[in-house]
Amino acid sequence: MIIRLLSKRIIIVLSLISTIWGQEIQTTPGLEKQLQAQGLVNIHSLAPDILVELKYSTMDNFLGADTYGELDDCYLQPMAARMLAQAQMNLKKINPELTLLIYDGARPRSIQRKMWTLVYGTPSQDYVANPETGSVHNFGSAVDLTIATNEGVPLDMGTPFDYFGKLAQPRFEDKFLKEGKLSKEQLENRRLLRTVMTEAEFQTISIEWWHFNAVSVKEARLNYHIVE
């Protein structure tokens, strides 16, 4: 009788574990559900071959902290996602062996607040937008990215992602090329990234080679709600 009761309890426990495990596999993470509910699009639904490595979902970033938690996919406003899919097509036409590699996309304000807390009062504060006003990332209309091989090896852009120095700023590229601080190959890689992105109607900025806006800050504020 005791053995029978124990066996029955074990079966019940195993059944519960199986049910919970199955639910976890099928459940979309909370932050991802939140982004979907606000109308944002997973870039892989439009361009399955784009590589994604959200840097703020790892410890490998200038914050030294994982602020995204369970989120591993890049979400954007539908228009920005379509533009990025076009940029991937542009790149593939030029070189099928290369792909875009995304480091950051839509950034919810909840994440921005975490980042702001980490940098407030430090020299890094200048590189993180105040969450009360937000950046284009917070409106789901900006993307940080590079070019990589299809195997995921990034091309040499002269500096890492989130390198906050003049060497990462496109406005100084010609100067650094003449001084030998940027090589011709590094500059060509940056120009290839800009070419495929601007042909898809993204806007560049002068201080980060990896950052592109689908719309201006003003347009983002007029057309979209901040991503919460």
* Section 2-22 average pLDDT: 37
* Section 199-213 average pLDDT: 98
Q: Is the pLDDT of residue 110 over 80?
A: yes
Position with higher pLDDT, 3 vs 86: 86
**53-66 tens-digit pLDDT:** 999 999 999 999 99
Give the H/E segment covering residue 149: strand 142-149
Looking at residue 89, its pLDDT comes to 98
The answer for residues whose C-beta is within 8 angstroms of residue 127's C-beta and 6 or more apart is: 62, 119, 162, 164
The per-residue b/e assignment along 197-225, b for 16 or more CB within 10 angstroms, e otherwise, is: beebebbeeeebbbbbbbbebeebeeebe
226 in Cβ contact with 109 (< 8 Å): yes
119 in Cβ contact with 164 (< 8 Å): no
Alpha carbon distance 82, 56 (integer Å)? 23
Structure tokens belonging to residue 2: 């005791």
Residue type at position 172 = F
Q: Is the pLDDT of residue 35 over 70?
A: yes
Structure tokens belonging to residue 156: 């040499």
Mean pLDDT of the chain: 89
